Amino acid sequence: MDKPNKIKVLVVDDSRVVRTMVTQFLSRDPDIEVVGSACDPYEARDRILALNPDVLTLDIEMPRMDGLTFLKIIMKQHPMPVIVISSLSQSGSKIAMEALRCGAVEVLGKSNGAYAVGNLGAQLALKVKAAAATRGSSALRNGAVSQATPTLAVRSRKQFHPRQVLLMGASTGGTQALQEVLTALPVQIPGICIVQHIPPYFSKAFAERLNTLCPFTVKEAENGEKVKPGLVLIAPGDYHMVLKLNGGSYTVILKQSPMVWHQRPAVDVLFESAAKCVGRFAVAALLTGMGKDGAEGLLHLKKTGALTYAQNEDTCIVYGMPKTACELGAVQQMVPLPLMAHTLYKALCKFKS
């Protein structure tokens, strides 16, 4: 039986040291082959045409042309999976969020300094494989949010039960999927808790961007913060988020316990904690992403009486996490992304105490 072809990667960075280190990290994985490198976008353009890589790793700060500008050109002229590598700074985080909006499928953060990529070694191969899984996806829309998602009309209704919580988890392609769902929800919502696989610092920029787009408050979660109506809490990068019941309300606990499924934050950690203290008051959804994170937690939520949903294959950038959850029997309904906000809101409104 023939072995599957290796994932071909082109590394683009103006630093020779960085190009060498990234190549060494990726070459350790038997499923990945670094077919070449480039020191700037102009050289990268020629290498893309000559080598036809499956995945591109792209630095943001480069001479002659910055990475963000080059990314926009790639997505217009030669769409392909791109992993953006950006500095873990305030400006770097905002640029990384813009890169995701423009079509990058993953972002990785490096410490300040041209050669500070050693902390990326453990994640690089995983991100490359996730990016490669998006190649040819019918849902890959170059980072653009679907225009087919209807915004729910704001309407008065009785208050939600104080114990109700909406939970969501996502990975590759999730930043845009979450934006699509959240911006379609009305201002009257119960508390929402979200885990998106994202590096430290980038999660705050992600939350701040959503806060400018949504009719309710979206923020990066803080340890000990209360979950309340009209508030969306996003787990910080590198911290698991756990729900605890205190009296009649929930509190968020942030932990740097071991990674789960190579992730921190992990969706399973949030979902498992909610299964213990939220149970039938929860509505939960697992969105696009590679791997298995969130599937077992969603199953436990379902067993406690929660309503459970997952994004369908046709609208996923990567149909990994939802597929695993479906195979486990954790999903009560598969939902196209444009209908997810309506479905979740309807589920919340159906609750009877």
Which residues carry out catalysis? 171, 197, 293
For residues 285 and 283, give the distance between their C-alpha atoms in angstroms, rounded to a whole number.
7
- Cβ atoms of 105 and 131 within 8 Å: the answer is yes
For residues 305 and 1, give the distance between their C-alpha atoms in angstroms, rounded to a whole number.
45
Q: Which residues contact 283 (CB under 8 A, 6 or more apart)?
A: 164, 165, 166, 167, 306, 307, 309, 344, 347, 348
For residues 166 and 149, give the distance between their C-alpha atoms in angstroms, rounded to a whole number.
19
> Residue 335 has which token pair?
């939902």
Q: Calculate ∠ Cα 138-143-149, nearest 5°.
A: 75
Residues facing 263 on adjacent strands:
260
H, E, C per residue of 305-344: CCEEEEECHHHCCCECHHHHHHHHCCCCEEECHHHHHHHH
DSSP letter string, 100-136: HHHT-SEEEEE-SSTT--GGGHHHHHHHHHHHHTTTT
> Residue 15 has which token pair?
């630093």
H, E, C per residue of 190-223: CEEEEEECCCCCHHHHHHHHHHHHCCCEEEECCC
